[in-house]
Amino acid sequence: MTVLFVVLPLTILISVFAVAAFVWAARAGQLDDLTTPPLRMLADESPPEPPPRQPASPPDL
Amino acid sequence: MTFGAAPTSAEREHASGVFARPAACAHCGTPLPPGAVPDENGEAFCCNGCRAVRAFILACGLDHYYRQRDDLAPPPRPAAPTARGYAELDHPDIAQRFVHDLGDGTAEVTFVLEGVHCSACVWLIERLPRVVPGVHEARLSFERAEVTVRFRPDLARLSAIARGLDGLGYPPHLPRRSSGELGDTQADRDLVLRLGVAFAAAGNVMLMAFALYSGATDTGEGPYATLLRWGSLALTLPTVAYSGAVFFRGAWAALRTRTPHMDLPVSIGIAAGTIWGTVNTIRGQGEIYFDTITTLIFLLLVGRWLGRRHQRAAARVVDLYAALSPTTARVVTVDGLVEMPARAVEENAIVEVRAGEPFPVDGLVASGTSAVDASSLTGESLPVTVTIGDRVYAGTKNTEATLLVRTEAAGAATRVSRLLASVEAAQRARAPIVKLADRVAGWFVWAALGLAAITFAAWSVVDPTLALDQAVALLVVTCPCALGMATPLAVSVALSRAARAGLLFKGGEFLEELSRPALFVLDKTGTVTEGQLRLVDWIGPNTVKSLLGAVEARSEHPIARAVMRDFAAEPKREASSVTAIPGGGVRGVVDGHQVLAGSPALVRRELCVEHLDPKLESAVTRFSQAGRTPIVVAVDGVALAAAAFADGLRSDARDTLAALEKLGARFALLSGDHPEVVAQAAASLGVPFVHVEGGAGPERKLACVTELERRHGRVVMVGDGVNDAGALAAARVGFSVHGGAEASLGAADVFATEPGLSPLLRAVVGARRTLRVIRRGIAFSLAYNAVGATLAVLGLLSPLLAAVAMPLSSLAVVTNAFRSRTFDAP
């Protein structure tokens, strides 16, 4: 059971790493928008070959 | 793709039988209106907007969008591109304020978009680089309907980006953030960080507590219990200092301002448990409360985080509306017309304002004659005729003809901007609302501290070594976790349900205020009435209706629009040489007949007669006396028909007010319209009014609300216009009906996203139900605390029992919050 003296500090150390990763993610803005990324994920990849670009003006109404 | 080819293609389709006749719009999926016919591709559209957007999407090679959309089956929503040029976006002032240079040759700009409604929109908008050359990346934030575009300023102009977004069916607007948006993001991140830290600590401390509860002791092999206690302490102290600081700060503010707040009892419990737990860890005996404390901090932060998320929704809608209101003006210069931001217009510059557009600046009419719809600023339901030298105000609408206006004030100096400044002052002056849960917390603190003192005293007699232990146990167990979570959760669940039912609350406290009996002060124009004229009476041959419809077809005058709406079923005729007559009249030629329409006085003058036909004269007199607007139609020089127009009551107004009256509400009617019209409306609403007042300007409305609040207690102001904004902000609760001006949304505490007055009733009923849920939650957590306190006083409370009972009680209040009916969707 003496292994506890090693494992317990180790657990805390791992937790500190996990919290550090969380802090980094939050600071980088990854948790700011919780709605769009799940929606973005739903979209399939678009067909591989995009046709040539068209002039950027919508047709007249 | 022409309309002319459509019938033949429809026949072809029908004959071949290959295609089923389309039943829904090829772009948005809305069921087709009766007149829609398929084009040569077998596609039919609900409107020209959808037709244009589909053509643009296909031309850009983005047809994959439709596959995405069909898989997701979002609610149908017609596209509404504006096909504008967006030239004003290329003004240097815009680039300076809204474009951020990223330093690597690219820049970033953010637009707020109309029409974002499903995840296929996310896909389509983020394909913007394929649509506009020079755009590198587009990222959409769905919740805010904001797209951030990274582009090369040397390759893509802002106007081109805007035209691309518009062509896809999402008209873009520059964001006009309510102040402190950036600070909000920072505060959100801050709270999430504290939450995450508390969660990690609570999880680990609980594992160690598990070992301690199951009987870890210091043995010959090693001091295990001591190790676990010190380990828990190492995790708890930083958590209390960092995550718990939220509560300590709140408690300190509550003490300083002497207002009761939930944070106070929470802080006392946390502080007592932490300090005594630390002492016990150092002493190596007694109980530590670290597992309970970390879990408590975590759960309370979850409640707080949920609350923040739901309140943000209302603020976002206000921002969106703020971005939608026009910000550009067309200035007449030597080089022709220049479109520029309205706030950049200089004094004495001449601005062109076409029929149907709002005025961008305050100024004097320099050329032209027209009618101005000032209802949003003054509450008058009828337009006022203006001509050279008359003053017009930003935010009102030009209805009849193009005007040139000499600018007197623009931007912050306009009357409407000054009015908005008074709104902010009224909001600051309003007494803060103390929430029910905080009031309960106020005496809760004293009860907990008193009981702790008694426990300590009693145990000092029985067994002095246990006295402090028992007192701290009591403080920890009475720490109102369930109470602290019960209200925020019940409120945030109710707010999200309310949002689905078409009601946006800016804060949970307004739920409480709305649930109590109050004096409802109603605005007339646009609130209890439709805010637009309708035909209410017609004297004369029905054939004249289509003639009147033909001459009014092009006008933006409210009466003309009423004619177009109400005569939509009449046969369509074309009018030629239509001219507007100053003073509210119009003349034109329809099928060879000279048609003249206008006010009775105008028609008499134009026809050069003293009196009209006696039947028409008596009808006109009757209409005027009833507070309606009469119009006389003359054909080939003979007055043939008279029509009466009125701003009718909303169809649900009477029922809503009757239902509210049953719930104990009282009413007052306050309007900027003419006193007779206001009195008429009050009489026809069918409920008693304690106060009816007409001719009240924005300043008078504000003063009147303050006065009524002093005389009658709680006032709920219900309005829609800019002129109501001050009153909405000053009242205990401001409620803005659907379609309200942007300023009124900014000032209101609650606003409806569904038309009509019935959302007001839904809000009141829902608020009452929510308050019942809150009371139930509070009652439960108080009962739990009473039992816990009794056990603690008797010395029967083990820390294990406290650790188990606390999450259980929280679970009970969470279930209560989620299971209860509050707001129902309409």
**Min distance B61 CA to chain A CA atoms (Å):** 6
What is the pLDDT at residue B446?
A: 86
What is the pLDDT at residue B825?
A: 54
User: For residue B242, what pLDDT band results from cuts at 50, 70 and 90?
Assistant: very high
Q: What is the pLDDT of residues B363-418, one digit of tens each?
A: 999 888 888 887 767 767 677 888 888 888 887 888 777 889 999 888 778 877 77
* Average pLDDT, integer, range B714-724: 86
Residues B419 and B394: beta-carbon distance below 8 Å: no
Q: Is B171 on the interface with A (CB under 8 A)?
A: no
Task: Give the Å distances, CA to CA, from B776 to B355, B437, B502, B675, B696.
Answer: 56, 12, 26, 47, 43
Q: Is B239 on the interface with A (CB under 8 A)?
A: no
Q: Say how far apart CA B266 and CA B457 lie, in whole Å.
A: 23
- Mean pLDDT taken over chain B: 81
DSSP B785-802: HHHHHHHHHHT---HHHH
What is the SS3 assignment for B686? coil
Residues B194 and B181: beta-carbon distance below 8 Å: no
- Please give the share of chain B, as a percent, with pLDDT higher than 70: 89
pLDDT for residue B2 is more than 50: no
Q: Say how far apart CA B164 and CA A57 lie, in whole Å.
A: 7
Greater model confidence, A31 or B583: A31
Greater model confidence, B293 or B119: B293
Identify the H or E element spanning B100: strand B100-101
Residues in chain B within 8 Å Cβ distance of A23: 193, 196
What is the pLDDT at residue B3?
A: 38
- Binding-site residues on chain A for chain B (CB distance < 8 A): 1-2, 4-5, 8-9, 11-12, 15, 18-19, 22-23, 26-27, 29, 31-33, 35-36, 39-40, 42-44, 46-47, 50-54, 56-61
Greater model confidence, B795 or B255: B255
Q: Which two tokens stand for residue B277?
A: 């737990």
User: CA B390: distance to chain centroid?
Assistant: 35
**Min distance B219 CA to chain A CA atoms (Å):** 11
What is the pLDDT at residue B19?
A: 44
Q: Say how far apart CA B319 and CA B668 lie, in whole Å.
A: 30
pLDDT for residue A49 is more than 50: no
Task: Give the Å distances, CA to CA, from B197 to B48, B138, B193, B408.
Answer: 54, 33, 6, 56
User: For residue B328, what pLDDT band results from cuts at 50, 70 and 90?
Assistant: confident
Q: Say how far apart CA B414 and CA B361 lie, in whole Å.
A: 7
Closest CA to B583 of B334, B294, B371, B309: B371
CB-CB: which of B141, B185, B231 is closest to A12? Answer: B231
Q: Which of A55-59, B167-171, B546-550, B697-701 has the lowest mean pLDDT?
A: A55-59
A1, A39, A60: best to mutate for the B interface, most B CBs within 10 A: A39
The residue in chain B having the minimum alpha-carbon distance to the alpha carbon of residue A23 is B193
Flag if B192 and A26 touch (Cβ within 8 Å).
Answer: yes
* Average pLDDT, integer, range B308-321: 67
Q: Say how far apart CA B505 and CA B489 lie, in whole Å.
A: 15
What is the pLDDT at residue B465?
A: 80
The strand ranges marked E within B152-254 are 172-173, 218-219, 222-223
For tokens 């803060």, the residue is B432
pLDDT for residue B324 is more than 70: no
Cβ pairs bridging A and B (under 8 Å): 125
User: CA B47: distance to chain centroid?
Assistant: 27
The strand ranges marked E within B309-393 are 328-333, 336-341, 350-353, 362-367, 370-373, 384-386, 391-392
The residue in chain A having the minimum alpha-carbon distance to the alpha carbon of residue B161 is A56
> What φ, ψ does residue B260 adopt, rounded to 5°?
-65, 145
B 613-672 residues with CB < 8 A to A: none
- Please give the share of chain B, as a percent, with pLDDT higher than 90: 11
What is the pLDDT at residue B150?
A: 92
Q: Where are the alpha helices (DSSP H) in B360-414?
A: 375-378
Flag if A43 and B123 touch (Cβ within 8 Å).
Answer: yes
For chain A, the residue count is: 61
What is the pLDDT at residue A59?
A: 47
Flag if B227 and A5 touch (Cβ within 8 Å).
Answer: yes
The strand ranges marked E within B295-342 are 328-333, 336-341
The residue in chain B having the minimum alpha-carbon distance to the alpha carbon of residue A42 is B119
What is the pLDDT at residue A16?
A: 92
ipTM: 0.77
A3, A14, A40, A60: best to mutate for the B interface, most B CBs within 10 A: A40
Q: Which two tokens stand for residue A16?
A: 């500190």
pLDDT for residue B329 is more than 90: no
Q: Where are the alpha helices (DSSP H) in B478-589?
A: 481-500, 509-515, 543-552, 558-566
Q: Which two tokens stand for residue B478?
A: 């009475």
Q: Say how far apart CA B729 and CA B734 lie, in whole Å.
A: 6
Flag if B221 and A2 touch (Cβ within 8 Å).
Answer: yes
Within 13 Å of residue B135, how many CA atoms lie on the same side as its CB? 28
Flag if A58 and B224 touch (Cβ within 8 Å).
Answer: no
Tell me the Ramachandran region of residue B160: left when phi exceeds 0, alpha when psi lies from -120 to 50, beta otherwise.
Answer: alpha
What is the rounded radius of gyration, in angstroms, for the C-alpha atoms of chain A? 24
User: For residue B488, what pLDDT band results from cuts at 50, 70 and 90?
Assistant: confident
What is the pLDDT at residue B768?
A: 92
The residue in chain B having the minimum alpha-carbon distance to the alpha carbon of residue A9 is B231
User: For residue B35, what pLDDT band results from cuts at 50, 70 and 90?
Assistant: low
* Amino acid identity at B755: P
The DSSP call for residue B43 is -
What is the pLDDT at residue B180?
A: 45
* Average pLDDT, integer, range B672-688: 85
Within 13 Å of residue B629, how many CA atoms lie on the same side as its CB? 23
Residues B732 and B749: beta-carbon distance below 8 Å: no
* Average pLDDT, integer, range B149-156: 90
A32, A45, A49: best to mutate for the B interface, most B CBs within 10 A: A32
* Average pLDDT, integer, range A26-35: 83
Q: Which two tokens stand for residue B445?
A: 């603190």
pLDDT for residue B796 is more than 90: no
pLDDT for residue A47 is more than 60: no
For tokens 């339901």, the residue is B381
* Average pLDDT, integer, range B717-737: 86
What is the pLDDT at residue A13?
A: 92
Within 13 Å of residue B421, how many CA atoms lie on the same side as its CB? 8
**Min distance A55 CA to chain B CA atoms (Å):** 8
User: For residue A44, what pLDDT band results from cuts at 50, 70 and 90?
Assistant: low
Greater model confidence, B825 or B202: B202
Q: What is the pLDDT of residues B510-526, one digit of tens each?
A: 888 888 888 999 988 88
What is the pLDDT at residue B624?
A: 79
What is the rounded radius of gyration, in angstroms, for the C-alpha atoms of chain B? 33
User: For residue B198, what pLDDT band results from cuts at 50, 70 and 90?
Assistant: very high
User: For residue B204, what pLDDT band results from cuts at 50, 70 and 90?
Assistant: very high
pLDDT for residue B66 is more than 60: yes
Residues in chain B within 8 Å Cβ distance of A51: 61
Flag if A61 and B52 touch (Cβ within 8 Å).
Answer: yes
Q: What is the pLDDT of residues B522-538, one digit of tens each?
A: 988 888 888 777 888 88
Q: Which of B134-138, B424-428, B587-591 has the lowest mean pLDDT?
A: B424-428
pLDDT for residue B97 is more than 50: yes
* Average pLDDT, integer, range B340-351: 83
For chain B, the residue count is: 826
Q: Say how far apart CA B814 and CA B306 lie, in whole Å.
A: 12
User: For residue B179, what pLDDT band results from cuts at 50, 70 and 90?
Assistant: very low
All domains of chain B, ordered by start, with CATH?
Answer: 6-72 (no CATH), 87-180 (3.30.70.100), 328-413 (2.70.150.10), 492-529+650-769 (3.40.50.1000)
Q: Which two tokens stand for residue B537?
A: 């009476």
Flag if A58 and B122 touch (Cβ within 8 Å).
Answer: no
Q: Say how far apart CA B278 and CA B262 lie, in whole Å.
A: 25
B45, B122, B197: best to mutate for the A interface, most A CBs within 10 A: B122
Flag if B68 and A44 touch (Cβ within 8 Å).
Answer: yes
* Torsion over CA: A6, A8, A9, A12 (sign): positive
Helices B181-213 and B224-242, packing angle to 10 deg: 170
Residues in chain B within 8 Å Cβ distance of A19: 196-197, 200
Q: Beta-carbon neighbour count of residue B446 at 10 Å?
A: 11
What is the SS3 assignment for B148? strand
Residues in chain B within 8 Å Cβ distance of A26: 189, 192-193, 196
Beta strands across the sheet bearing B336-341: B336-341, B328-333, B350-353, B403-409, B362-367, B391-392
Q: What is the pLDDT of residues B213-229, one digit of tens each?
A: 887 777 777 788 888 89
Closest CA to B123 of B112, B138, B106: B138
Q: What is the pLDDT of residues B655-673, one digit of tens each?
A: 999 999 998 889 999 888 8
Residues in chain B within 8 Å Cβ distance of A42: 72, 119
Q: Is B610 on the interface with A (CB under 8 A)?
A: no
**Min distance A61 CA to chain B CA atoms (Å):** 6
* Average pLDDT, integer, range A11-38: 88
Residues B514 and B733: beta-carbon distance below 8 Å: yes
Catalytic residues of B: 523
What is the pLDDT at residue B278?
A: 94
Q: Say how far apart CA B707 and CA B739 lie, in whole Å.
A: 27
CB-CB: which of B142, B166, B185 is closest to A32? Answer: B185
What is the pLDDT at residue B620?
A: 84
Residues in chain A within 8 Å Cβ distance of B234: 12
Q: Which residues pair with B407 in a beta bridge?
A: B363
